[in-house]
Amino acid sequence: MRDPKHIIVVGGGLMGTTLAERLSQDGYDVSMVESSQERLLELSEGLDVRLVRGNGATAPVLVEAGVER
């Protein structure tokens, strides 16, 4: 059964970060996919979401981010 409160945000730019932050504050379980290791390190310092490194257009990365939940 899928968890309706789990959301995957692809991209850690301004839009993706703002969206992930607000969804997390609203009680959603958020995973963010970002391809840049440097950006992931920046995000890990201030964002309370699960971070996954990779291309969000590929199935293995989406599975790692929890798409099957």
Strand pairing report for 29-34 and 6-10 = parallel
At 47, which CATH number?
3.40.50.720
Count how many domains the chain has.
1
State residue 4's pLDDT score.
72
> pLDDT tens digits for the chain (69 residues)?
566 799 999 999 999 999 999 999 999 999 999 999 999 999 999 899 999 999 999 999 999 999 988
Domain that holds residue 44: 6-65
State residue 12's pLDDT score.
96
Contacts within 8 Å (CB) and 24+ apart, 60-64: 61/33, 62/8, 62/33
- pTM across the whole model: 0.89
**Alpha carbon distances (Å) from 34 to 1, 2, 4, 39, 50:** 26, 23, 22, 7, 11
1 assigned to some structural domain: no
State residue 2's pLDDT score.
63
By CB atoms closer than 10 A (0-12, 13-18, 19+), residue 37 is exposed
